[in-house]
Amino acid sequence: MKQAGSLPTSDFSNRLDAANGYPAIWQIVKDSVKTSIHKHRDRMMLFLDDLPIQLGAYHPIGTNNIVLNRTLVQIVDATIESKPVVNALVYNLLLHEYLHAMGDYSEENVRHMVYEVAKQCFGEKHVATVIAKKTPWTLLSGIPMQAINVPKRVMEIVKDFEKTTEYVV
């Protein structure tokens, strides 16, 4: 196992910047947690839902689910128009909930851990680390949020989010 000072930050950066879709970003989340804090959890599922804009995602305690705010991601995608930035946002939101799913329910602890994992795996200047240090909502500055009125759609499951070769009942 590599020491924290010698983590392959360019590998993580290149992978995240080029990632296509939630499953690819999810694999980076899992790899970065395993590399930096040596923890791992399998069999997670991702759902996309239209949540209040102040809520990026959540993990229902006692489940293997993460619910991501589809509207938030779509707003950032439409206004920022930068795939690496959108990927960094999704990475931060998924990482935050993944840490909750592994049993840390303290918001303060998890926010700190998100920053530490991002810093170790991407370096201090990567957009994923900057978002973790500030807040994902810095990406929304200048956007008139009160003007956004998105109709509630049906929650959807992300297919092939976490591929497994085992049969799960």
Tell me the average confidence (pLDDT) per consecutive run of 10 residues in the chain, 169 residues long: 56 97 97 97 96 94 97 92 96 98 97 98 97 93 72 93 64
pLDDT, position 7: 58
For 69, phi then psi, to 5°, come to: -75, 100
Angle, CA 22 vertex, CA 20 and CA 28 arms, to 5°: 85
Structure confidence at residue 2 (pLDDT): 41
DSSP-assigned beta bridge partners for residue 68? 48, 57
pTM of the prediction?
A: 0.91
- In the three-class reduction of DSSP (H, G, I as helix; E, B as strand; rest coil), residue 110 is classed as helix
Per-residue pLDDT, 147: 61
Neighbours of 28 (CB within 10 A): 23
Per DSSP (E only), the strands in 38-159 are: 45-49, 57-58, 65-69, 156-157
Residue 105 pLDDT? 95
pLDDT of residue 158: 97
